A and B are shown apart, each in its own frame.
Chain A
Amino acid sequence: MSAASNLVELLQMPFLQRALLAGLFTGALGGLLGSVAVLRQLSFFSDALGHSALLGITVAILLNLNPTLVLVPFAVLFALGIDRLASRSRLPTDALLNIVYSSSLALAVLALSRVPSYRGGIDQLLFGDILGVSWLDLSLILLLLLAAGSYLVLSRRTQILLTLDEPLAISRGVAAGSHRLLFIVLLAVVVAISIKAVGVLLISAFVVIPACASRLVSRRFSAYGLLAAGLGAGCAVVGLLLSALFNLPSGPAVVLVQLLGFLIALALAPLLR
Chain B
Amino acid sequence: MAAAILEVDHLTVRREAATVVDDVSFSLQPESDTALVGPNGAGKSSLVQALLGILPRCSGSIRLLGEPLGPRGQLPAAVRDRLAYLPQTLTLRGRIPLSVAEFVALGYERPGLSLPWRGHSGRSGAVRSALARTDSSDLAERLISDLSTGQLKRVLLAFCVVRPRSLLLLDEAQAGLDSQASEQFHSLLYGLRRREGWTILQVSHDLEMVRRSCDMVLCLNRSLRCSGSPDHALSPSQLEHLYGPGFVPYHHHHASQPTPR
Contacts and interface: CB of A to CB of B under 8 A. Distances in A.
B2 interface: no
Interface in A140-190: 153-158, 160-161, 163-174
A133 B54 CA distance: 45
A86 B131 CA distance: 39
Interface stretch (A97-105, A216-224, A253-261): A216-224
Given A216-B95, A220-B99, A161 B111 contact: yes
A51 interface: no
A154 B99 contact: no
B92 A170 contact: no
* Contact count band on A: 20 to 34
Contact of B54 (A39, A157, A171, A215): A171
Contact of A172 (B80, B116, B169): B80
Contacts of B90: 164-165, 168
A185 to B, nearest CB: 18
Contacts of A2: none
Contacts of B87: 165, 167-168
Interface residues of B, number: 38
A173 B110 contact: yes
B49 A158 contact: no
Contacts of A215: 94-95, 97
B111 A173 contact: yes
B85 A167 contact: yes
Contact of A154 (B77, B95, B114): B114
A41 interface: yes
Given A164-B96, A222-B102, 20 more contacts: A157-B110, A157-B112, A157-B114, A158-B111, A158-B112, A160-B98, A160-B106, A164-B92, A164-B98, A167-B49, A170-B52, A170-B54, A171-B53, A171-B83, A171-B169, A172-B80, A173-B75, A219-B97, A220-B97, A221-B97
